[in-house]
């Protein structure tokens, strides 16, 4: 599979050359995971899967003009009545897209997506605190994990909503490396938070030093990974 990371910037005002665009991962030039920029539509994806309805992952929330082609969402959205709500794995020719529920927001359902083609399997999670134990069997062996680079500090930033007692926010990168190392030997971080932009070369080095047996890589806008 050819995996292209279209955008690496989190939902923050900061950017740096090579880290400008919001979330988007294009698999084999056909399946787009997240539409953080409307310009990604120019790549003419055949299907678009959205991880969660935050505007840095679904740019059409701001314009209120969802793309007209096949669109898969984690929950119903009145401005996109034609969209499919993902409840189970979706078979698309030789590809299978498997949803993995993630913990991230209070009032929004969020999903990671495993994209399978033959024996190859990749997982893209976007923003998350955790994946519940009951979904771990779905993860299995993964050739690549692409996940949330919002916070470098352990523990990330997790808050509790007083009304629902639900947690929301982002895990720390070291927490995610420890969790995903059980399932993969290659982890790519994207969706960078402000920590990353203070000194980009140093931040890239800090990330790749985290490995401990696992290959940890900082993404960059337009980076291509062959799996
Ligand atoms: Zn985000
Ligand atoms: Zn989010």
pLDDT per residue, tens digit, the chain (227 aa), is 999 999 999 999 999 999 999 999 999 999 999 999 999 999 999 999 999 999 999 999 999 999 999 999 999 999 999 999 999 999 999 999 999 999 999 999 999 999 999 999 999 999 999 999 999 999 999 999 999 999 999 999 999 999 999 999 999 999 999 999 999 999 999 999 999 999 999 999 999 999 778 999 999 999 999 99
Whole-number pLDDT of residue 212: 79
What is the CA(106)–ligand 1 centre distance, in A?
14
Strands 144-148, 71-73: pairing kind? unpaired
Q: How many Å lie between the centroid of ligand 1 and the Cα of residue 172? A: 14
Q: What is the pLDDT of residue 211?
A: 79
Q: Please tell me the number of the ligand nearest to residue 110's CA.
A: 2
CA of 210 to the centre of ligand 1 (A): 22
pLDDT for 6: 98
pLDDT at res. 81: 96
Tell how far the Cα of 125 is from the centroid of ligand 1, in angstroms: 10
pLDDT of the residue at 91: 98
Compute CA 150 distance to the chain's CA centroid, rounded to the nearest angstrom: 11
* Ligand nearest to the CA of residue 108, numbered in listed order: 2
């Amino acid at each position: 599979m050819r995996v292209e990371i279209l955008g690496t910037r989190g939902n923050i005002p900061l950017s740096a050359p090579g880290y400008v665009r919001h979330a988007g991962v294009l698999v084999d030039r056909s399946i787009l995971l997240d539409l953080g920029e409307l310009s990604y539509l120019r790549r003419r994806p055949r299907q678009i899967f959205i991880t969660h309805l935050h505007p840095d992952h679904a740019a059409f929330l701001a314009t209120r003009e969802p793309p007209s082609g096949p669109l898969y969402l984690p929950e119903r959205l009145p401005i996109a009545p034609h969209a499919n709500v993902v409840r189970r794995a979706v078979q698309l020719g030789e590809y299978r897209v498997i949803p993995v529920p993630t913990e991230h927001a209070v009032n929004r359902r969020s999903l990671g997506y495993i994209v399978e083609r033959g024996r190859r399997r990749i997982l893209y999670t976007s923003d998350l605190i955790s994946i519940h134990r009951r979904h771990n069997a779905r993860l299995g062996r993964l050739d690549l994990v692409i996940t949330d680079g919002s916070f470098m500090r352990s523990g990330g930033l997790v808050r509790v909503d007083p009304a629902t007692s639900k947690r929301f926010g982002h895990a720390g990168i070291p927490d995610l490396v420890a969790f995903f190392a059980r399932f993969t030997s290659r982890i790519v971080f994207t969706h960078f938070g402000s920590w990353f932009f203070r000194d980009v070369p140093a931040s890239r080095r800090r990330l790749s030093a985290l490995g401990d047996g696992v290959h940890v890589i900082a993404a960059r806008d337009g980076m291509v990974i062959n799996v």
